[in-house]
Chains A and B, each alone.
Chain A
Amino acid sequence: MNAAAPFNQPGQALLRVRGLKVSYGDFEAVKGVSFDVAPGETLALVGESGCGKSTTAMAIMRLLGGRALISGEVGFDGRNLAQISDQDMRDLRGNDISMVFQDPMTSLNPVLAIGEQISEVLRRHRGLSRIEARAEALKLLKRVRIPNAEARLDDFPHNLSGGQRQRVMIAIAVACNPRLLIADEPTTALDVTVQAHILQLLKELSQEYAMGLLLITHDLGVVGQWADRVAVMYDGRIVEEGSTEDIFTAAQHPYTQGLLGASLRLDSDSHYARVSLPEINVQRGANGQIRFDLDSHARTVTARDADASAQPILELRHLSTAYKTRQGTVTAVRDVSLRIATGETLGLVGESGCGKSTLSKTILGLVKASAGQVLLNGVDIAGLDERRLRSHRPFVQMVFQDPYGSLNPKHSVYRILDGVLKTHGEKSAQARSERIFDIIHRVGLPPSAVWKYPHEFSGGQRQRVGVARALILRPSLVILDEAVSSLDVSVRAQILNLLADLKQEFGLSYLFISHDLSVVKYMADRVLVMHDGQIVEEGGHDLWQNARHDYTRKLIGSVPVPRYAPADEESVPYANPAWQTVPLAVLLSRIAI
């Protein structure tokens, strides 16, 4: 069934896509895409949200549903997948071509046991009996390195962690030895340390089974580390294609260059104090032509008075926060102490569940601290009740992660900002209006945006509104809790530039919290690493080269870094020994996350 097919002569592509178009009614999601995937090769399809990369992948598998119109050629095994019958396509799916999806939390049926879900595909395509399929499923679970595989067979998806669920998805996908594996953002929803293991697993399997791997992603770090060839998509078309080395060292298209420049890398030395991130300027001409312009400039941040004896804007002394859950008391923040000097950006790095969100909420008084002090400009606000806390609120504000959830969907931008000003004593309606239009202008939105409702904006625009709301009271300290994590690379570059510019304009201090080390490296003056509720390491720029704590090194080592550096960028060769040992550690490790 899946023995080396007679069509698979050396040199012939496994998958040949030519002129693939996908449209929904009037809207063209994919406008004519062509690429090849050779057996054993990893092709990465890169782009930002809305570019059509996922749609392309789903179109190859014909999973798009009745409303989508697919035309063009998808050559596989000498047949055009876009035109074969439904039944034939069903015979191929899961058998010769498989897919792994983005969100492992929702991609598995919650009411069926894991073993059942793997056996299902084996029984469908291989005709195995129940017992045989179960035994084979067990073997597959062991192959994807799930510990305690026998017990896991009868477990349900909610008993497993995100990383383990993704391994199960991979097990399902490779169960019938497919020749082509499509992975749609397989690690986007996972922690960085887990991500490395999953990608390693995918690579191993693709080599072991001589599978072609089509990797869909927006993360250029992943592309640079794991892909053999790259195709860059924008607005439904491929704008550039080539080997990974060519793309990373000598990209031709301005959009690719913009993406590469805006993608922060752990091995580059760019810092907000010296240079702004390149922003991609897209202009549509009258004839439908798109022009890309790159905009980037140097920046000089005036050295702030490094007066160690000056009172820090924020100081935490032995802060702890615990809360009760059904399982008992959970201490989310343990004995955390830190200081942020005036005008400084302190970066806080940690994976999900390390307590960084609880920390920011405790600082803001949204959650009660169980011990310790929060000194804002020297005043301890940790124990204050809401009324007394209110007078301190204008000094410290927060920009939230989720641009969708952090704005009341029923209020226009004007109303949101107006309410803030009204609460803090701005009595004159005229003065309020003036301040609102001013701050909207400063965050780069046009005045008409003020009357719109949150759902009318894109993610980046909503985040600008969030920034406006945080800044309208002219705080001294702004906490940015994963403020750019849900944004596309190019939009992220714009927001980071905006934040850096505003910091200088208003003389702000930032507490920049993120799980993304590269972003923190770019944005922060000093960095703290948080793990399991505690600060495990603290340092300046030397942290990235010489991390001392094991966890920090593991974290840094897990971040995917492209194997190639652009020729013209000044970059310090990346030589953290932790990074080189990761593949070996992964191979030897029996601990699957």
Chain B
Amino acid sequence: MPDRISPPRITRRLGSLFQSSLFRAIPTAAGVILLNFALLQMVPGDAVDALVAEAGSASAETTALLRQQYGLDKSSWLQFGDYLNQLAHLSLGDSPRYGLPVLDVILQRLPNTLLLMGLALTLSLVAGVVIGVVMALWKGKWPDRVLSSLAFVLYSTPGFWVGLMAIVLFAVKLDWLPSGGDGTVGAGLTGIDKFVDKLHYAILPALTLSSFFIAIYARLTRASVLEVLTHDYVRTAQAKGLSSWQITVRHVLRNALLPLTTVAGTHLAGLLGGAAVAETVFGWPGIGRLTLEAVQAREYKVLLGILLLSSLLVIAANLLIDWLHGRLDPRIADRSRGIEP
């Protein structure tokens, strides 16, 4: 009968870890809000100017009166207070062009972008890690050289160009995949069928978006695996007589992939930017394309709403990643958190 074994103390550690992550996230979120407000203030002209422009012209007194009415003549501090109040009520203002609250406009498109980003992230992680491991294990031999060169080229290519060339190859020449849009028009699909159809259209944009990151994760994994292979515990594992497979998976990979989680967090912001480009190239109706539309229409509220929401999204995702990292690396929980270099 085995001795009674006490349960691991992981659960206790996670609670305090999550608290400290949260603790760090709040000032960052506050900073994001502050930044957005500052940018809002920088916008040339305001709502009243827009109204006046539409009306043709107005006297100075009318303009001043209108400002007073809309509360736009208050000091910056008070305006900031108004802004916070507005945020607390989960409102980002209204969009005249779309005739809807800004938040609604954004939320309409957000799921599409999230789908795209999710697909791209998964693809780049899986492909990147596999390629990176292959490169590391065959270091110096031809698989490594070929893959490294390919990764290098991919890493140097802008996403939009990859997208365009992908369209030329897959959509035009081979006709395997659609060249744009998010669903077959006029097919009247619903439910699961609609989703599958959507996925079909998401493949090329996701591939485009992930291209840069596949290269990065491949190089990172390669470097990480090569570094871990020099660590002493790998030698200990060999001294135990374990098989290569056991050593690679249990000892090497479990440690080599840790830095990836930290890095993946910093790439989320980059993914959002890349999504803007990929969505434009493929006509994918997400918030990236919305950004471009808003720029062209000078819809600053929408623009800043997107900026704010995406920053908050990145903060939330980073919290998740911190939690994941804490689960994977038991050393983290016992270190007090500062800013990781």
> Once the chains are docked, how many angstroms separate the CA of A503 from the CA of B324?
58
Q: Which of A17-25, A148-156, A200-208, A525-533 contacts B (4 or more CB under 8 A)?
A: A148-156
Tell whether, in the assembled complex, residue A172 and residue B330 are in contact, meaning their CB atoms are under 8 Å apart. Answer: no
Tell whether, in the assembled complex, residue A107 and residue B5 are in contact, meaning their CB atoms are under 8 Å apart. Answer: no
Closest-CB distance, B157 to chain A (whole angstroms): 35
Residues of A within 8 A of B246 (CB): 120, 124
Residues of A within 8 A of B254 (CB): 109, 111-112
Residues of A within 8 A of B251 (CB): 109, 112
Q: Which of A130-138, A230-238, A296-304, A511-519 contacts B (4 or more CB under 8 A)?
A: A130-138
* Chain A residue at minimal CB-CB distance from B8: A154
A30 at the interface (CB under 8 A from B): no
> Once the chains are docked, how many angstroms separate the CA of A90 from the CA of B243?
7
Tell whether, in the assembled complex, residue A154 and residue B5 are in contact, meaning their CB atoms are under 8 Å apart. Answer: yes
Q: How does the 8 Å CB contact mask read for B225-239 relative to A, with 1 for contact and 0 for none?
A: 000000111011111
Further pairs besides A89-B241, A134-B2, A150-B3: 18, Cβ < 8 Å: A90-B242, A99-B239, A101-B232, A106-B232, A107-B233, A109-B236, A109-B237, A109-B254, A110-B255, A111-B331, A112-B250, A121-B240, A124-B246, A138-B3, A153-B5, A154-B9, A172-B240, A326-B336
Tell whether, in the assembled complex, residue A135 and residue B2 are in contact, meaning their CB atoms are under 8 Å apart. Answer: yes
Take A110-B331, A134-B2, A150-B3 as given contacts and tell me if A124 and B240 are in contact as well, using a CB distance cutoff of 8 Å. yes
> Once the chains are docked, how many angstroms separate the CA of A159 from the CA of B333?
11
> Once the chains are docked, how many angstroms separate the CA of A446 from the CA of B291?
69
> Once the chains are docked, how many angstroms separate the CA of A564 from the CA of B233?
37
Tell whether, in the assembled complex, residue A98 and residue B237 are in contact, meaning their CB atoms are under 8 Å apart. Answer: no
> Once the chains are docked, how many angstroms separate the CA of A135 from the CA of B1?
8
Take A135-B2, A151-B6 as given contacts and tell me if A110 and B330 are in contact as well, using a CB distance cutoff of 8 Å. yes
A93 at the interface (CB under 8 A from B): yes
A169 at the interface (CB under 8 A from B): yes
B236: contacting residue among A101, A138, A150, CB under 8 A:
A101
Tell whether, in the assembled complex, residue B330 and residue A120 are in contact, meaning their CB atoms are under 8 Å apart. Answer: no
Tell whether, in the assembled complex, residue B240 and residue A94 are in contact, meaning their CB atoms are under 8 Å apart. Answer: yes
* Chain A residue at minimal CB-CB distance from B235: A63
B150 at the interface (CB under 8 A from A): no
Closest-CB distance, A198 to chain B (whole angstroms): 17
Residues of A within 8 A of B255 (CB): 109-111
> Once the chains are docked, how many angstroms separate the CA of A153 from the CA of B5?
8
- Considering only CB atoms and an 8 Å cut-off, how many residues of chain A contact the other chain? 41
A113 at the interface (CB under 8 A from B): yes
> Once the chains are docked, how many angstroms separate the CA of A172 from the CA of B242?
13
Q: Which of A245-285 contact B (CB under 8 A)?
A: none
Residues of A within 8 A of B250 (CB): 109, 112, 120
B329 at the interface (CB under 8 A from A): yes
Q: How does the 8 Å CB contact mask read for B118-149 relative to A, with 1 for contact and 0 for none?
A: 00000000000000000000000000000000
> Once the chains are docked, how many angstroms separate the CA of A223 from the CA of B5?
40
> Once the chains are docked, how many angstroms separate the CA of A120 from the CA of B242?
8
> Once the chains are docked, how many angstroms separate the CA of A555 from the CA of B241?
38
> Once the chains are docked, how many angstroms separate the CA of A231 from the CA of B7?
48
A293 at the interface (CB under 8 A from B): no
**12 intermolecular pairs with C-beta atoms under 8 Å apart:** A63-B235, A63-B238, A94-B242, A99-B239, A106-B231, A109-B236, A111-B328, A113-B8, A120-B240, A134-B5, A135-B3, A156-B331
A95 at the interface (CB under 8 A from B): yes
A547 at the interface (CB under 8 A from B): no
- A63, A111, A131: residue with the most chain B Cβ atoms closer than 10 Å: A111
* Chain A residue at minimal CB-CB distance from B243: A90
A441 at the interface (CB under 8 A from B): no
Q: How does the 8 Å CB contact mask read for A160-190 relative to B, with 1 for contact and 0 for none?
A: 0000000001001100000000000000000
A432 at the interface (CB under 8 A from B): no
Residues of B within 8 A of A536 (CB): none
Take A109-B255, A111-B258 as given contacts and tell me if A150 and B6 are in contact as well, using a CB distance cutoff of 8 Å. yes
Rank and list the top 4 A-B pairs by shortest CB-CB distance, nearest first: A93-B241, A94-B240, A94-B241, A106-B232
> Once the chains are docked, how many angstroms separate the CA of A132 from the CA of B241?
20
B235: contacting residue among A107, A120, A124, A153, CB under 8 A:
A107
* Chain A residue at minimal CB-CB distance from B233: A109
B334 at the interface (CB under 8 A from A): yes
> Once the chains are docked, how many angstroms separate the CA of A90 from the CA of B331?
30
A450 at the interface (CB under 8 A from B): no
Closest-CB distance, A139 to chain B (whole angstroms): 9
Tell whether, in the assembled complex, residue A156 and residue B330 are in contact, meaning their CB atoms are under 8 Å apart. Answer: yes
> Once the chains are docked, how many angstroms separate the CA of A173 from the CA of B6?
25
B173 at the interface (CB under 8 A from A): no
A158: contacting residue among B3, B232, B331, CB under 8 A:
B331
Closest-CB distance, B110 to chain A (whole angstroms): 35
